[in-house]
């Protein structure tokens, strides 16, 4: 599709898309925005507009890639407020051309006006199109959609009886979750010469029914399934659930916009679109875990076509994935967690006939009574095994003084979350599903403790920061480690901050006089592998913010040197805030001179000693909150619910540690600012130490905020055409009768627009 604007001159509505493009969500959004900027003026030239449109088809056919276009319907949708020019020569010329001879023209007379519209109907009838009038805003939707009965007529006349189609998954307005619909056209066959499409019948299928075909517990928290159609558009994907929460319409979203645009992702997409069965192993991949963290990981992708449908399914599993099979667990007593009020269950369908998000008591009764053989299934057996271990941990928690912990927790991969004390359970509701728990996923892959900052409301308008600290529990199985759970504690952010300052403010040989207790001279940051600040000596630095928000000079240098890498992803059909002036996230820069004394350089020799001291001190604090378990092995979301104001497409950026360290200088305007980065391996944290900021004419700025996607830069991708095209019929019906209408007061200013649509599918939707 594409859109043209014309009066006495003709041009593309969106100049950056000077050809026909797929009718994806971002392409349509780009054109909608461009239409909003149009202004009426001058006189109209039908001949110029139609010739431009016909030539667009010719140029597209000449230069298109082998997979572009459907080789089916070619349609021009022509909107105007009326005219008297009869472009007969142009139409005859292109009806004798092999490329454009079958182009239909649908004409629409927009608004009440004194200009005759006979010419518009003549254009439609001459090209086997359809003519209609748009006399009021309310008529636009139903009248424009009249093209469906015209383009659908050849399909009905074909007599095919296997014309069912599957929609993409969408969020059910009745609250039933994600649904897809299989549809069949309903035809009027009573009139031999006027057989036409009169409606569609369908039946819904819940996404949960498809997901039930594979166990989340078996594929693990980092494994997932997704499906696409033959055009590479997402049918369902775990991240699409978040993005569809506020959708205006089902998006035509390419899988690369969720899986990333790396070469390996393109290879997987191409093989799936072509309907191949196979696997790509050890693929470099970055998983988006939550709103602040991304995880570089190597994955195995296994894919194939679903029957004879246009769907393709892929199962993605991390390299080295191990599933634990549990059996022979006694079920007569149920889960034995009824009295533990601090227990949550993942919202999964554990047993047939049981609701998807059961209470602990309800599920325990179903397992105890072996309802529908529930207790014999692998998922229930795994729950029983985990529940027995949690009971022991709970007793240990109850017998251990709480000391400095706000709460203690354990997440199991079977879907149990236990929180002590139980009054803190409400703060873990969004983390009870391991497949959507970013903290669980990071801990499962790390070889150390992982940290996460939580913001909790305490009283009216008061926000309190705390830090989750956890590590994985692994079980040996066939010389491989199976991640059974993640266990940890919630500690006040002030506890971590105080420990950090106590350690970094004491000289090792008692002679150092410049340490982190002098924040005006030395900036010290403790950050995680997503560049999130865990502690700092800078008063204006917020715990839980990105380092770039506090010290753009340091962050820009670390990005330039490759210490951190970026991962971009797109959120489609988001509700975004109305445009405001971007708030600059720059720290207040301290005055500095080019020839100043560098506190960091005089202290650099002691950094490694500091790392060891800090690691030991924090480990001592954190180990106290964890239960003592055998076979414990050290190793490593996006759930926002924010009300937005208008539909948009946004690009978001995640940062992750590349594995590199850094020792060097940031320089600007003759100022040299030393920077050192050290890794704390047993804590999965980094210590960043730098001199006071330089004061430069051009301040550093790291743009990692959400920003609207530039759809103009996206390239065309391989698609698979439908095998059959139903595009011609001999009906003489070409629209309503055309009469001259008049009005002394027109509606809103009329936009003169030509919309050119080579339909992407034989049964494609229209321009809307």
The tens digit of pLDDT for each residue in 496-555 reads 888 888 888 765 444 444 478 888 889 999 999 999 999 999 988 999 999 988 898 999
**CB 545, CB 532: distance < 8 Å:** yes
**Given a cut of 60, is residue 656 above it in pLDDT?**
yes
Which whole-number Å values give the CA distances from 5 to 114, 166, 437, in the listed order?
Answer: 22, 34, 48
How far apart CA 297 and CA 319 sit, in angstroms, is 8
pLDDT digits (tens, 9 = 90+) for 27-37: 887 888 888 88
How far apart CA 697 and CA 670 sit, in angstroms, is 11
Instruction: Report the run of H or E that residue 622 belongs to, with start and end.
Output: helix 607-623
Is the pLDDT higher at 231 or at 764? 231
pLDDT of the residue at 665: 92
How far apart CA 75 and CA 56 sit, in angstroms, is 12
Most confident option among 126-135, 191-200, 208-217: 126-135
Task: Enter the tokens of residue 15.
Answer: 């100049």
pTM (predicted TM-score):
0.75
**Given a cut of 60, is residue 712 above it in pLDDT?**
yes
Residues forming beta bridges with residue 251, ordered by sequence position: none
Specify the DSSP class assigned to residue 160. Answer: -
Q: Which residue has the tokens 């459907």?
A: 70
Work out the pLDDT band at 587, boundaries 50, 70, 90: very low
pLDDT of the residue at 22: 82
Task: Enter the tokens of residue 193.
Answer: 């010469």
Burial of 713 (0-12, 13-18, 19+ CB in 10 A): exposed
Taking alpha carbons only, the member of 177, 157, 159 closest to residue 169 is 177
How far apart CA 216 and CA 347 sit, in angstroms, is 11
**Which residues are CB-contacts of 34 (< 8 A; sequence separation ≥ 6)?**
3, 13, 14
How far apart CA 415 and CA 344 sit, in angstroms, is 8
Work out the pLDDT band at 713, boundaries 50, 70, 90: low
Taking alpha carbons only, the member of 27, 311, 295, 307 closest to residue 169 is 311
Q: H helices of 411-456, where?
A: 438-445
Mean pLDDT of 560-575: 76
Q: CB 310: neighbour CB atoms within 10 A?
A: 19
The three-point CA angle 720-263-571 to 5° equals 75
Work out the pLDDT band at 700, boundaries 50, 70, 90: low
**Given a cut of 50, is residue 350 above it in pLDDT?**
yes
Q: For a pLDDT cut of 70, what percent of the chain falls above it?
A: 75
Task: Enter the tokens of residue 538.
Answer: 């800078």
Work out the pLDDT band at 340, boundaries 50, 70, 90: low
**Which phi and psi angles does 708 have, rounded to 5°?**
-70, 140
**Given a cut of 60, is residue 745 above it in pLDDT?**
no
Question: What is the residue-averaged pLDDT of the chain?
Answer: 76
pLDDT digits (tens, 9 = 90+) for 431-474: 999 988 999 999 999 988 999 998 877 666 556 789 999 999 88
Residues forming beta bridges with residue 279, ordered by sequence position: 302
How far apart CA 217 and CA 209 sit, in angstroms, is 16
Mean pLDDT of 410-436: 90
pLDDT of the residue at 322: 83
**CB 564, CB 658: distance < 8 Å:** yes
The SS3 call for residue 548 is helix
Q: Give 3-state DSSP helix, strand, coil % of the chain, rounded to 5.
A: 25, 30, 45
Burial of 476 (0-12, 13-18, 19+ CB in 10 A): exposed
Give CA torsion, residues 652, 657, 662, 668, to 10 deg. Answer: 0
**Which residues are CB-contacts of 524 (< 8 A; sequence separation ≥ 6)?**
500, 504, 516, 536, 537, 538, 687, 688, 689
Mean pLDDT of 358-368: 80
Task: Enter the tokens of residue 56.
Answer: 């667009």
**Given a cut of 80, is residue 400 above it in pLDDT?**
no
Which whole-number Å values give the CA distances from 227 to 177, 269, 304, in the listed order?
Answer: 17, 10, 10
Task: Enter the tokens of residue 335.
Answer: 């889960």
Is the pLDDT higher at 378 or at 598? 378
The three-point CA angle 645-650-656 to 5° equals 130
Residue 348's region, left for phi above 0, alpha for psi from -120 to 50, else beta, is beta
**Rg for the chain, CA atoms, rounded:** 31
**Given a cut of 60, is residue 244 above it in pLDDT?**
no
pLDDT of the residue at 595: 38
Mean pLDDT of 575-593: 37
**CB 523, CB 538: distance < 8 Å:** yes
Task: Enter the tokens of residue 500.
Answer: 């950090």
The SS3 call for residue 503 is helix
The SS3 call for residue 135 is coil
Pairing relation of β-strands 104-110 and 130-134? parallel
How far apart CA 21 and CA 157 sit, in angstroms, is 29
**Which phi and psi angles does 124 have, rounded to 5°?**
-65, -45
**Given a cut of 60, is residue 134 above it in pLDDT?**
yes
Residue 404's region, left for phi above 0, alpha for psi from -120 to 50, else beta, is alpha
pLDDT of the residue at 571: 61
**Which residues are CB-contacts of 280 (< 8 A; sequence separation ≥ 6)?**
264, 267, 268, 271, 300, 301
Is the pLDDT higher at 570 or at 436? 436
Q: CB 651: neighbour CB atoms within 10 A?
A: 15
How far apart CA 52 and CA 73 sit, in angstroms, is 18
Q: Which of 247-261, 420-434, 536-550 has the lowest mean pLDDT?
A: 247-261
Dmax over Cα atoms in the chain, in whole Å? Answer: 101
Q: Which residue has the tokens 């150390």?
A: 448
Specify the DSSP class assigned to residue 292. Answer: S
Q: CB 534: neighbour CB atoms within 10 A?
A: 23
pLDDT of the residue at 572: 55
Pairing relation of β-strands 294-305 and 278-288? antiparallel
Segments of 95-223 assigned E as strands? 104-110, 130-134, 165-166, 170-171, 178-188, 196-206
**Given a cut of 90, is residue 298 above it in pLDDT?**
yes
N-terminal to C-terminal alpha carbon distance within the chain:
11
pLDDT of the residue at 761: 25
**Given a cut of 60, is residue 573 above it in pLDDT?**
no
**Given a cut of 80, is residue 597 above it in pLDDT?**
no
């Amino acid at each position: 599709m594409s859109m043209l604007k014309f009066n006495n001159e003709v041009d593309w509505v969106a100049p950056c898309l000077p050809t026909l493009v797929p009718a994806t969500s971002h392409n349509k959004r780009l054109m909608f925005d461009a239409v909003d900027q149009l202004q009426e003026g001058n006189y109209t030239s039908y001949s110029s507009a139609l010739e431009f449109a016909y030539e667009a088809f010719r140029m597209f056919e000449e230069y298109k890639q082998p997979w572009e276009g459907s080789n089916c319907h070619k349609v021009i949708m022509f909107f105007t407020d009326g005219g008297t020019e009869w472009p007969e020569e142009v139409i005859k010329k292109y009806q004798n051309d092999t490329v454009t001879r079958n182009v239909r023209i649908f004409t629409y007379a927009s608004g009440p006006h004194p200009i005759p519209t006979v010419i518009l109907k003549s254009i439609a009838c001459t090209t086997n199109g359809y003519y209609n009038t748009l006399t009021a805003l309310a008529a636009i939707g139903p009248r424009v959609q009249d093209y469906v009965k015209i383009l659908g007529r050849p399909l009905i006349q074909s007599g095919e009886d296997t014309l069912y189609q599957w929609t993409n998954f969408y969020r059910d307005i009745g609250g039933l979750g994600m649904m897809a619909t299989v549809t069949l056209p309903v035809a009027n066959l009573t009139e031999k010469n006027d057989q036409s499409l009169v409606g569609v019948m369908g039946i819904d299928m819940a996404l949960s029914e498809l997901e039930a075909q594979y166990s989340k517990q078996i594929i693990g928290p980092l494994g997932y399934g997704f499906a696409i159609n033959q055009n590479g558009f997402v049918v369902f994907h775990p991240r699409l659930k978040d993005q569809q929460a506020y959708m205006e319409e089902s998006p035509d979203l390419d899988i690369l916009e969720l899986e990333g645009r790396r070469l390996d992702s393109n290879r997987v997409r191409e093989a799936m679109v072509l309907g191949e069965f196979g696997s790509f192993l050890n693929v470099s991949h970055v998983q988006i875990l939550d709103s602040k963290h991304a995880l570089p990981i190597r994955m195995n992708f296994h894919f194939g076509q679903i029957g004879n449908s246009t769907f393709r399914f892929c199962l993605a599993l991390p390299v080295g994935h191990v599933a634990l099979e549990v059996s022979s667990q006694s079920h007569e007593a149920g889960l034995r967690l009824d009295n533990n009020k601090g227990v949550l269950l993942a919202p999964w369908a554990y047993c047939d006939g049981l609701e998807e998000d059961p209470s602990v008591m309800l599920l325990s009764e179903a397992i105890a009574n072996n309802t529908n053989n529930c207790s014999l299934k692998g998922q229930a057996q795994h729950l029983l095994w985990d529940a027995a271990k949690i009971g022991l941990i709970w007793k240990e928690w109850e017998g251990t003084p709480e000391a400095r912990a706000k709460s203690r927790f354990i997440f199991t991969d079977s879907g149990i979350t236990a929180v002590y004390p139980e009054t803190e359970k409400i703060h873990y509701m969004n983390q009870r599903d391991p497949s959507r728990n970013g903290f669980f996923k990071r801990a499962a892959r790390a070889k150390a403790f992982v940290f996460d900052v939580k913001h909790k409301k305490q009283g009216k308008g008061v926000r309190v920061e705390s830090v989750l600290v956890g590590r994985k529990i692994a079980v040996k199985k066939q010389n491989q480690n199976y991640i059974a759970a993640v266990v940890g504690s919630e500690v006040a952010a002030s506890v971590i901050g105080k420990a950090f300052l106590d350690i970094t403010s004491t000289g090792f040989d008692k002679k150092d006089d410049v340490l982190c207790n002098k924040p005006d001279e030395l900036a010290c940051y403790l950050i995680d592998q997503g560049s999130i600040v865990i502690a700092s000596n800078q008063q204006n630095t917020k715990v839980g913010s990105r380092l770039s928000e506090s010290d753009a000079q340091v962050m820009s240098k670390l990005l330039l040197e490759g210490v951190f890498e970026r991962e971009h992803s797109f959120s489609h059909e988001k509700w975004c805030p109305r445009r405001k002036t971007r708030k600059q996230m720059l720290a207040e820069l301290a005055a500095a001179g080019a020839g100043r004394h560098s506190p960091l350089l005089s202290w650099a020799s002691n950094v490694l000693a500091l790392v060891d001291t800090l690691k030991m001190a924090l480990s001592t604090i954190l180990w106290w909150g964890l239960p003592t378990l055998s076979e414990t092995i050290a190793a490593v979301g996006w759930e926002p619910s924010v009300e937005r104001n208008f539909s948009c497409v946004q690009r978001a950026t995640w940062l992750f540690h590349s594995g590199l360290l850094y020792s060097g200088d940031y320089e600007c305007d003759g100022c040299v600012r030393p920077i050192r980065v050290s890794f704390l391996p047993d804590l999965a944290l980094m210590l960043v130490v730098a001199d006071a900021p330089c004061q430069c004419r051009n301040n550093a700025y790291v743009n990692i905020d959400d920003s609207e996607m530039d759809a103009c830069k996206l390239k065309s991708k391989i698609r698979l055409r439908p095998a059959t095209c139903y595009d011609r019929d001999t009906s003489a019906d070409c629209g309503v009768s055309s009469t001259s209408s008049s009005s002394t007061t027109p509606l809103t200013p009329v936009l003169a627009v030509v919309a050119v649509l080579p339909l992407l599918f034989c049964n494609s939707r229209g321009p809307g």
